[in-house]
Structure 1
Amino acid sequence: MNAPKERLVVIGGDAAGMSAASQARKRRPASDLEIVAFERGQHVSYSACGIPYLVAGDVAEPDALVARHPAEFLKLDIDVRLSTEVVAIDLDRRAVTVRSAAGESSLGFDQLVIATGGVPTRPEVPGSLSVGIHGVQNLEDGIRLLGYLDRHRPERAVVVGGGYIGLEMAEAMLRRGLDVTLVDASEQPMRTLDPDMGGLIADALRAEGVTLRLGERLEGFASKAGRVTAVHTTGGEIPADLVILGLGSRPSSDLARAAGIGVGTTGGIQTDRRMRTSAEGVWAAGDCVETFHLVSQRPVAIALGTHANKQGRAVGINIGGGYATFPGVVGTAVSKLCGTEVARTGLSTAEAAAAGFSAYSVTTESTTRAGYYPGARKIKTKIIAERITGRLLGAQIVGEEGAAKRIDALAVALWHGMTVEEMTSLDLSYAPPFAPVWDPVLIAARKAAEALGSNS
């Protein structure tokens, strides 16, 4: 007699969840494994990172951000159920409770993947429910924002939050011709950078015409007839026809916590290297999980589609009978504001100190191409290294071009625990249209190596 078919239930239909489902299906046919994926929204398998570029007009339509539609998963014998939210997990009964327009129901599982993503930070201040205040967490948010822009033709936008999303949405609003003000409680935008590098981003924002209100805390919103008209901060009132929230997110782990599944100090679901949770047969991946920082050796919660896809892939391979791990992260991220690119990897100076390292840093300025070649632009590179050993701990780059990809070389060096002295011999590519004979990465590494003796 054939063994009974197992059922895999996936909670969350974006990068992590659908990567897990797809990889599991590749390894186990429908006759062996039934797969049901629940998504509370109306889209699956899309690029949330592309939403700012959809709003800016670089991406022609929302559908372009969708990697796979539900019909494509149906061909793979993956049952995707949209507009259906999982509201409870019962580990004893091995079942989930789901809610849809038809009401509540229950479905059992043998294996469970939690890929609930992140919960956007919404300020609990007066007027926060006014029409015209938008987050950009998912594709539905992006579509709603586009509709609001088309219907109401706002002229003044206030972006609250100076992180990656805030920066990208500020550019999107500039591209659409709006007057843009950016508010942040920190004294600099991009607080994951050191202050000197964050200051370069502030200068770039001002040069593009963005009004900065730094060091100001959000106090509330004013509205008329239910629609936002102004933002109130500790520095005063800012008129606004549109507000975009870029305050970040936290791991969506409440469902797991309520079921008794382990949640870490970062608020993310705890997993082992294979992405297994504390509950038997329950896996987790994506923005909802806590992961391991390979440099600080501490748990972190970092929301990025790259991590979500890799983690989901590992889950699917493991469920499918293979073996895969997700070893951790080094904190690599990139963004841009119009012509200025910003990139970082590893630890900032403050993060290195908090992790217990005795660190030093060097900052160098170079050009993106050979100085004589047309179009050469300035680029600033900062390296943070450990005293005595010279081991690379982190790096930051700000420039008009080339920052985004040069950080990858530094991320690889960081991943493999290289010292700045070892990095000076890296065989990086050279041709005048792409780099000077001494690439900015090599210049920074050389300066850091030279400074090592005086910092020992």
Structure 2
Amino acid sequence: MGVGSRERLVVVGGDAAGMSAASQARRRRDGGGLEIVVFERGNFTSYSACGIPYLVGGVVADPGRLIARDPDTFRSAFDIEVYLRHEVTGIDLGRRAVRVRDLDGGGQRWEGFDQLMVATGAVPARPSLPGADAAGIHGVQVLDDGLAIRRVLDGQRPRRAVVVGGGYIGLEMAEALVMRGLQVALVDAAPQPMTTLDEDMGALVADALRKVGVTLHLGERVTGFDTAAGRVRAVTTANRVLPAELVILGLGVRPNTALARSAGLAVGATGGIITDRRMRTEAAGVWAAGDCVQTRHLVSGAPVAIALGTHANKQGRVAGINLGGGYATFPGVVGTAVSKICGVEVARTGLTEAQAVRAGFDPLAVVVASTTRAGYYPGAAPIKTKIVAERRSGRLLGAQIVGEEGAAKRIDGLAIALWNGMTVEEMTGLDLAYAPPFSPVWDPVLIAARKAADLVERTPCR
């Protein structure tokens, strides 16, 4: 517990959510009133996991560029004690203590807490298939994963790689491996990569991957991994055998809640820890934030677990403000995400057409082709914008963008409109910036909104 009159905050996990919470709590309470101790099982704190594919691909050469603050900075500037390579293996809520294993020095000990922040993140989905634990098969979640893959590329010089799964990480890693000169195949059970897009927009991403030499095997499930001497040598599907010296799992991630479950904390339908809007769990003095929690989708109203650094940092900040004696809430998410894959920018927010149907809406959708700049201005590139709206009300439900340079960040305007519950008719009057180097006189967002509003007006109710 805290020493003397000092309260003690223990943080489990030293990346975005955990360190944001610790830093915010410290800003509001000095070291004389609050002791803060962080346990992180990895080798780094406060790093950009989103930068891992660019580290692997060589776009970012120095891993240190991905690290925002190291433990020495947290100790000297924030009076936050950080223990790297220390894994919390148990939480005893009755005893108000966590069991900590020193991964390098060995041994375990109990550390008391008054307040506990659970920020255990997510873990890559790993299929329960023959050979899935073989050497050469890598998930991608933490910086240590990226460094391990880079060591393989630099030291073993593999020639052939297979990426299993076509989500954001899978596609970004496929591009990174192409940049490193490997022959890359991608296997996905879905008919198109990136299932967070509708199929018509995902098809554009598939075309971009093929253009840079990625061989796609879509609509195929992996059935196992061929191994020799404990090392992967091929990926098998129902249709083929794909030789590989390196396999990347891009099957997405799931909330890392084993520790929370074993402690008796409530876990929701998404697999994430249940918290209130202030990031409190049901257990007194226990908080949670980041990829390990579930939150509310503000369009569908359903619980969701979306692993993004933006959410983790915001949730950690909210928890830290409350831990420090302030008041803050996290309202939920609309699912905004963006990526660059092989020169093509991809963005989405809200619900896809298929998700809107599953959520009980009666949606309409339009897809508009335009250019990122005025057509006569050098560098104008194609962009496709899809808007999903509710049939009767015209309420914006979601949007997707696929295009070349200058396309993706337009999703921010759509996300703001979605956040504020605007209709597509209201969006047609948005005062968006225009100059030929940046946009046609009718921005693609406005064209799509206008087309969607026209469709709503002329489509009868069902």
Q: What is the TM-score normalised by the length of structure 1?
A: 0.98
Q: 2:457 maps to what in 1?
A: 453
Equivalent pair of 1:8/1:111 in contact (CA under 8 Å): yes
**CA distance in 2 between partners of 1:336 and 1:85 (Å):** 34
Any idea what SS the aligned residue of 1:143 has?
Answer: helix
Aligned twin of 1:32: 33
In the TM superposition, 1:314-333 aligns within 5 A as 314-333=318-337
% same residue: 69
Q: Does 1:435 align with 2:439?
A: yes
> Is 1:189–2:193 an aligned residue pair?
yes
Q: Please tell me the residue identity of whatever aligns with 1:60.
A: A
Match of 2:419 among 415, 418, 426: 415
Name segments (4+ residues, structure 1) moved above 4 Å: none
Question: Is residue 177 from structure 1 mapped to residue 178 from structure 2 by the alignment?
Answer: no
Equivalent residue, structure 2, for 1:22 = 23
Name the residue aligned to 1:107. 111
What are the residue-to-residue correspondences of 1:103-252 with 2, within 5 Å? 103-252=107-256
Letter in 1 for 2:96: R
**Distance (Å, rounded) in 2 between the aligned partners of 1:434 and 1:199:** 26
Q: Alignment partner of 2:65: what SS? A: helix
2:83 to 81, 84, 88: 81
CA contact (8 A) 1:53 1:172 kept: yes
- Which whole-Å deviations, capped at 9, do the CAs of 1:163-190 have from their partners, x for residues lacking one? 0001100110111111110100111100
Q: In the TM superposition, what are the counterparts of 1:363-378 in structure 2 within 5 Å?
A: 363-378=367-382
Give the equivalent residue in structure 2 for 1:58.
59
* 1:245-284 matched pairs, under 5 angstroms: 245-284=249-288
In the TM superposition, residue 454 of structure 1 has moved relative to its aligned partner by: 2.4
Cross-structure match for 1:91 = 93
**Deviation of residue 234 (structure 1)?**
1.4
Where 1:357 maps in the other structure, the secondary structure is coil
How far does residue 228 in structure 1 lie from its aligned partner after superposition?
Answer: 1.8
For residues 442 and 405 of structure 2, the distance between their equivalents in structure 1, rounded to whole angstroms, comes to: 16
Q: CA deviation at 1:206?
A: 1.0
CA–CA separation in structure 1 for the residues paired with 2:262 and 2:350: 33
Cα distance in 2 for residues equivalent to 1:102 and 1:238 = 41
1 CA distance for matches of 2:343 and 2:112?
51
Note the alpha carbon deviations across 1:39-85, whole angstroms, 9 max, x for none: 01111111111000000111111111110000001112111011111
Cα deviation, residue 205, structure 1:
1.1
- Listed one character per residue, the Cα deviations across residues 238-271 of structure 1 (whole Å, up to 9, x for unaligned) are 1112111111111111211211111111110001
SS at match of 2:204: helix
Task: Return the alpha-carbon distance in structure 2 between the equivalents of residues 393 and 63 of structure 1.
Answer: 40
Give the superposition deviation at 1:29.
0.7
User: What amino acid is aligned across from residue 114 of structure 1 in structure 2?
Assistant: V
Partner Cα separation in structure 1 for residue 48 and residue 123 of structure 2? 17
Contact 1:270 1:289 (8 Å CA) reproduced: yes
> Cα deviations across residues 203-260 of structure 1 (Å, max 9, x unaligned)?
1111111100011111111123332221101121011121111111111112112111
Shift of 1:3: 7.3
Q: Deviations over 1:341-399 (max 9, x none)?
A: 11100001111111111111011100111011111111000000001110000000000
Equivalent-residue separation in structure 1 for 2:263 and 2:225 (angstroms): 37
Indicate the larger mover: 303-312 or 125-134: 125-134
- Contact residue 167 and residue 336 of structure 1 kept, 8 A: no
Match of 1:6 in 2: 7
Q: Which amino acid aligns with 2:299?
A: V
Return the alpha-carbon distance in structure 2 between the equivalents of residues 69 and 86 of structure 1.
Answer: 20
Bigger shift: 158-167 or 254-263?
A: 254-263
What amino acid maps onto 1:93 in structure 2?
R
- How far residue 285 of structure 1 moved from its aligned partner, in angstroms, is 0.3
Map 1:348-387; keep pairs closer than 5 Å. Answer: 348-387=352-391
1:320, 1:355 → 2: CA distance? 38
In the alignment, residue 440 of structure 1 is paired with which amino acid?
A: P
CA distance in 1, matches of 2:195, 2:106: 45
Letter in 1 for 2:427: M
d(CA) in 1 for partners of 2:180, 2:223: 27
Please state whether the residue corresponding to 1:297 is helix, strand or coil.
coil
Q: What is the distance in 1 between the residues matched to 2:296 and 2:426?
A: 25
Q: Distance in 1 between matches of 2:364 and 2:109?
A: 57
- Structure 2 length-normalised TM: 0.97
Measure the CA separation in 1 of the matches of 2:43 and 2:238.
38
In 2, the alpha carbon distance for the partners of 1:453 and 1:327 equals 32
Deviations 1:95-124 (A, max 9, x none): 111111331110111000000000211112
CA distance in 2, matches of 1:357, 1:291: 20
